[in-house]
């Protein structure tokens, strides 16, 4: 009787229009209901029936009404969808194709528009890229997407790599080859150094060899190091397609068991690679250091040359030989002498950096061992050894020299900068330090020398918890065209040029250094170049972490994971629990708050201080080593859930 009454409809609309309207972000839960987060303090409940109209992450407007003394959000209109371009898996039902988005909390099947002639090409389980074209809060009142690109079949062993790279809009393959562009195109004078016994030290399977070293000891006890770096700019001119591709890629993307080069492999692994006994064009930096490790600025010289590497050495072999273990030994006395001199150079430069700059505590590195068919055989925990430090000190010294020369002659370049603390975080640091008897001022720790002194005091304090808290308050590294200090390294300026076949910014610095060598004028580039490089670096790092998380889930799921006890280091405290890393293999785990103590009301997770209080007592802190047992491995979300041993 009242169902279609126009007066009743009008009254309902009038009452509805009087309800307050808010805007916020939708947050889903595994139980079907959700919340509308308006700000950090305020959120509204969204019932399961209304959650069917929205997706996790959508920005919407909603009307707020009261029901049983509870404020309820009723979705009204879409402001911005969470999904736009997205990745998902195909599911076929009743001759229709749906896609399940590959995001946590997004478990809705979305109907797909597919051309009839390609309908039969898609199978359940296929991975694709799709575009959302319709939302339930829009005119069509349906979730609908169109498929843009096929990624991989469900059973392809490359799924983790291809899906993650597609997620972050990163290339999956090496650049296409443009044969006409890949020619040696320089007529510049190059000094012939092919008679010198340069050596390279890399990992066993490294193909893109970009640095070679030759060192001598002078009569006055100074050491003269020649750092020769592969020169792809002798093949790649500005304005070419290959140069533009390198700019767009920014870096070679090194993922576990898989890398996607910035340059075509014919360049990075052949024509430019400093392979042994092959003549190669290089850019060389001559570095002279005294017996205390000081780089003599007036002796720095950059020049172009030809070299022929005498030996391709491996980190592990060189380290074993220097530590007097194993059976490997250098083929010639000259190579032996080169290794010994380079080791001495490394030691005095490390001593200098410990005294005048910064050398941070080294963390373990983890390596996946993967078969040609993509099977994860094992994960090893590796420590950096003597040979790694030799190359590191040589490259850092070369990059210090490049920063000095670029600053002196141009006043610009591609610099890696790090600003330490902003003023607000610096004040928090001072408060933390006072609790541990370290008295410093904001003014002190916001200078380069004061920042270095702070970290030396932290090293003496030897408190991992304090160091972790302070490290979290530091700013992030940036890319700049103008020279600024790099607080993280404790250096006045730092400009990398030692990996030009792997980093576009290093290629740019090569061109700048060549301009200086030729006494040629060059223009300051547009700021957009630093934005591109920073964005590429960020996406590459996230993709590496995401691939690793996926591989850990596959690897651990094949073991009897719930029978083993692991040591884990706490890396973060969140409102919902503890993040940690397994020391044995590097896997990231999460311990929900409900596994920390039986009575959740007695647990307080303080993210700012990095502690967990149980019954008003500190139970866990960032950097603590705890024993855990894996509870659940979530394949779809690539999460590993753990519990402290005592709790399980």
Residue 322 has pLDDT above 60, yes or no: yes
Q: Is residue 1 part of a domain?
A: no
Does 13 reside within a domain? no
Q: Is 142 in a helix, a strand, or coil?
A: coil
Q: What per-residue confidence (pLDDT) applies to 582?
A: 97
User: DSSP strand E in 1-84: where?
Assistant: 21-28, 34-37, 43-46, 59-67, 70-80
What's residue 491's pLDDT?
A: 97
User: Does residue 435 lie in a domain region?
Assistant: yes
Same domain, 233 and 347: yes
* Whole-number Å distance between alpha carbons of 229 and 564: 47
Is 210 a catalytic site residue? yes
342 three-class SS: helix
Of 113 and 536, the structure prediction assigns the larger pLDDT to: 536
> For the whole model, what pTM was predicted?
0.91
Range among 36-40, 343-347, 600-604 rated most confident? 343-347
Place of tokens 């250098």: 330
On whether both 251 and 377 belong to a single domain, the answer is yes
Q: Are residues 358 and 247 in the same domain?
A: yes
Same domain, 405 and 435: no
**Residue 50 and residue 197 in one domain:** no
Catalytic residue among 315, 504, 552, 620: 315
pLDDT higher than 90, residue 239: no
Query: For the chain, first and last CA: distance in Å?
Result: 60
pLDDT exceeds 80 at position 56: yes
Do the beta carbons of residue 497 and residue 506 sit within 8 Å? yes
Beta bridge partners of 335: none
- Is 130 inside any structural domain? yes
Residue 297 belongs to some domain of the structure: yes
Spot the catalytic one: 102, 126, 202, 231. Answer: 202
pLDDT at 284: 98
Task: Please check whether residue 295 is in contact with residue 400, taking contact to mean a CB–CB distance below 8 angstroms.
Answer: yes
Mean pLDDT of 483-512: 97
In a domain, 3, yes or no: no
Is 546 one of the annotated active-site residues of the chain? no
> What integer pLDDT is reported at residue 116 of this predicted model?
59
Q: How many angstroms separate the CA atoms of 379 and 385, rounded?
A: 18
Residue 40 and residue 127 in one domain: no
Q: 54: number of CA atoms within 13 Å, CB side?
A: 34
Mean pLDDT, rounded, of the chain: 93
pLDDT digits (tens, 9 = 90+) for 195-238: 999 999 999 999 999 999 999 999 888 999 999 999 999 999 88
How far, in Å, CA of 284 to CA of 274, rounded?
A: 13
pLDDT in tens, 436-466: 999 999 999 999 999 999 999 999 999 999 9
pLDDT given at position 9: 61
Beginning with the edge strand found earlier in the chain, give each strand of the sheet holding 603-606 in spatial order.
603-606, 611-614, 617-621
User: Where does 438-587 show beta strands of DSSP type E?
Assistant: 478-480, 566-574, 577-582
Query: What pLDDT was estimated at residue 562?
Result: 76
Using the predicted structure, report yes or no on whether residue 367 has a pLDDT greater than 90.
yes
Active site residue 37: no
CA angle at residue 504 from 535 to 350, to 5 degrees?
95
Beta carbons of 467 and 368 less than 8 angstroms apart: no
Mean pLDDT of 519-529: 92
Averaged over 279-298, what is the pLDDT?
97
Name which of 360, 381, 421, 378 is nearest 569 in CA terms.
381
- Are residues 208 and 310 located together in one domain of the fold? yes
Residue 18 scores a pLDDT above 90: no
Instruction: Please check whether residue 229 is in contact with residue 261, taking contact to mean a CB–CB distance below 8 angstroms.
Output: no
In contact, 441 and 426? CB cutoff 8 Å:
no
Q: Is residue 182 part of a domain?
A: no
Task: Characterize the bridge pairing of strands 478-480 and 566-574.
Answer: unpaired
Q: Catalytic residue at 102? A: no
Token digits of residue 607: 């993210």
Query: Among residues 502, 511, 539, 621, which one is catalytic?
Result: 502
Residue 186: its pLDDT value, please?
Answer: 76
CA–CA dist 46, 16 (Å, integer): 17
* Residues near 264 by beta carbon (within 8 Å), at least 6 away in sequence: 174, 175, 176, 177, 182, 242
315 belongs to the catalytic site: yes
Angstrom distance (rounded) from CA 623 to CA 466: 9
Residue 25: pLDDT band by 50, 70, 90 thresholds? very high
Residue finishing a domain among 80, 104, 123: 80
Residue range 404-410: mean pLDDT, rounded: 97
Catalytic residue among 126, 208, 231, 320: 208
Last residue of a domain, one of 141, 156, 171: 156
Q: How confident is the model at residue 122 (pLDDT cuts 50, 70, 90)?
A: confident
Which tens digits make up the pLDDT trace of 541-582?
Answer: 999 999 999 999 999 998 877 788 999 999 999 989 999 999
Pair 469, 410 in one domain: no
| pLDDT value of position 1 | 47
Give me the catalytic one of 50, 210, 231, 624: 210
CA pair distance 296, 319, nearest whole angstrom: 28
Quick one: pLDDT band at residue 470, thresholds 50, 70, 90?
very high
Residues in contact with 208: Cβ distance below 8 Å, sequence separation at least 6, in sequence order: 252, 261, 268, 269, 272, 273, 501, 502
Q: Give the pLDDT confidence score for residue 477 in this predicted structure.
A: 95
Tens digit of each residue's pLDDT (9 = 90 or more) over 99-111: 999 988 888 899 9
Query: What's residue 94's pLDDT?
Result: 83
- The C-alpha atoms of residue 405 and residue 227 are separated, in whole angstroms, by 15
- Nearest residue to 247 via CA among 256, 238, 255: 238
Beta carbons of 407 and 484 less than 8 angstroms apart = no
Q: Which residues contact residue 329 at a Cβ distance below 8 angstroms, ignoring those fewer than 6 apart?
A: 321, 336
The pLDDT of residue 275 is above 90: yes
Mean pLDDT over residues 68-76, rounded?
A: 91
Beta pairing, strands 311-314 & 199-202: parallel
| % of residues, the chain, pLDDT over 90 | 82
Query: How many separate domains does the chain show?
Result: 5
pLDDT (0 to 100) of residue 114: 74
Torsion of CA 18, 24, 25, 26, to 10 degrees: -20
Tens-digit pLDDT profile for residues 246-274:
999 999 999 998 899 999 999 999 999 99
Instruction: Find, among 123, 143, 128, the residue nearest to 58 by Cα.
Output: 143
**In this structure, are 314 and 385 located in the same domain?**
yes
Residues 522 and 640 in one domain: no
Which residue out of 50, 58, 102, 211 is catalytically annotated? 211
Domain interval for residue 128? 91-156
Backbone phi, psi, residue 603, to 5°? -110, 130
Radius of gyration over every alpha carbon of the chain, rounded to an integer in angstroms? 29
* Pair 119, 231 in one domain: no
* Structural domain includes residue 346: yes
Nearest CA-CA partner of 269 in 312, 214, 317: 312
Asked whether residue 411 falls in the same domain as residue 279, the answer is: yes
Active site residue 545: no
């Amino acid at each position: 009787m009242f169902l279609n009454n126009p007066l009743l409809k009008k009254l309902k609309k009038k009452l509805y229009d009087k309800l307050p309207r808010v805007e916020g972000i939708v947050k889903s839960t595994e139980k079907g209901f959700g919340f509308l987060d308006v700000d950090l303090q305020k959120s509204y409940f969204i019932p399961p029936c209304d959650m069917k109209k929205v997706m996790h992450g959508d920005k919407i407007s909603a009307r707020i009404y009261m029901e049983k003394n509870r404020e309820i959000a009723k979705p009204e209109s879409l402001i911005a969808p969470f999904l736009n371009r997205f990745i998902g898996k195909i599911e076929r039902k009743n001759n229709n194709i749906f896609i399940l988005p590959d995001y946590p909390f997004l478990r809705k099947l979305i109907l797909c528009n597919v051309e009839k002639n390609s309908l039969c090409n898609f199978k359940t389980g296929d991975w694709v890229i799709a575009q959302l074209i319709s939302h339930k809060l829009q005119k069509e009142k349906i979730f609908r997407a169109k498929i843009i690109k096929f990624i991989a079949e469900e059973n392809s062993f490359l799924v983790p790599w291809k899906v993650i790279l597609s997620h972050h809009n990163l290339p999956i393959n090496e650049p296409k080859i443009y044969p006409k562009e890949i020619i040696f195109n320089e007529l510049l004078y190059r000094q012939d150094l092919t008679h010198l016994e340069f050596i390279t030290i890399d990992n066993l399977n490294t193909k893109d060899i970009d640095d070679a070293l030759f060192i001598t000891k002078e009569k006055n006890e100074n050491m003269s190091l020649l750092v020769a770096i592969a020169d792809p700019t002798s093949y790649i001119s500005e304005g070419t397609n290959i140069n533009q591709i390198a700019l767009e890629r920014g870096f070679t993307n090194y993922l576990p068991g898989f890398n996607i080069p910035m340059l075509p492999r014919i360049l990075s692994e052949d024509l430019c690679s400093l392979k042994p006994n092959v003549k190669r064009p290089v850019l060389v930096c001559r570095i002279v250091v005294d017996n205390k490790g000081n780089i003599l600025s007036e002796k720095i010289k950059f020049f172009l040359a030809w070299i022929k590497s005498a030996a391709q050495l491996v980190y592990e072999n060189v380290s074993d030989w220097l530590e007097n273990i194993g059976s490997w030994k250098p083929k010639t006395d000259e190579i032996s002498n080169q290794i010994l001199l380079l080791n001495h150079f490394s030691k005095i430069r490390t001593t200098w950096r410990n005294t005048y700059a910064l050398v941070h505590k080294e963390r373990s590195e983890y390596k996946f061992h993967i078969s040609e068919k993509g099977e994860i055989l094992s994960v090893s925990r590796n420590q950096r050894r003597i040979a790694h430090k030799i190359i590191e000190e040589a490259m850092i010294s070369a990059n210090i020299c490049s920063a000095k020369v670029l600053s002196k002659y141009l006043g610009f370049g591609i610099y890696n900068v790090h600003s330490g603390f902003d003023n607000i975080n610096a004040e928090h640091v001072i408060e933390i330090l006072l609790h541990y008897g370290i008295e410093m001022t904001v003014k002190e720790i916001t200078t380069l020398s004061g920042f270095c002194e702070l970290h030396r005091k932290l090293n003496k304090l030897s408190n991992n918890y304090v160091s972790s808290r302070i490290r979290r308050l530091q700013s992030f590294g940036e890319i700049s065209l103008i020279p600024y200090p790099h607080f993280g390294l404790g250096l006045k300026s730092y400009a990398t040029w030692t990996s030009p076949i792997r980093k576009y910014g290093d290629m740019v610095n090569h061109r700048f250094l060549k301009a200086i060598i030729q006494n040629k004028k060059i223009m300051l580039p547009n700021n957009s170049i630093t934005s591109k490089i920073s964005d590429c670096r960020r996406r590459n790092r996230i993709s590496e972490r995401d691939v690793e998380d996926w591989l850990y889930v596959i690897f651990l799921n094949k073991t009897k994971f719930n029978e083993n006890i692991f040591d884990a280091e706490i890396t973060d405290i969140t409102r919902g629990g503890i993040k940690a890393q397994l020391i044995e293999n590097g896997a990231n785990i999460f311990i929900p708050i409900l596994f920390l103590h039986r009575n959740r009301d007695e647990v307080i997770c303080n993210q700012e201080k990095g502690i967990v209080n149980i019954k008003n007592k500190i139970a866990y802190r960032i950097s603590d080593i705890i024993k855990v047992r894996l509870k659940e491995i979530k394949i779809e979300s690539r999460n590993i859930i753990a519990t402290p041993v005592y709790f399980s």
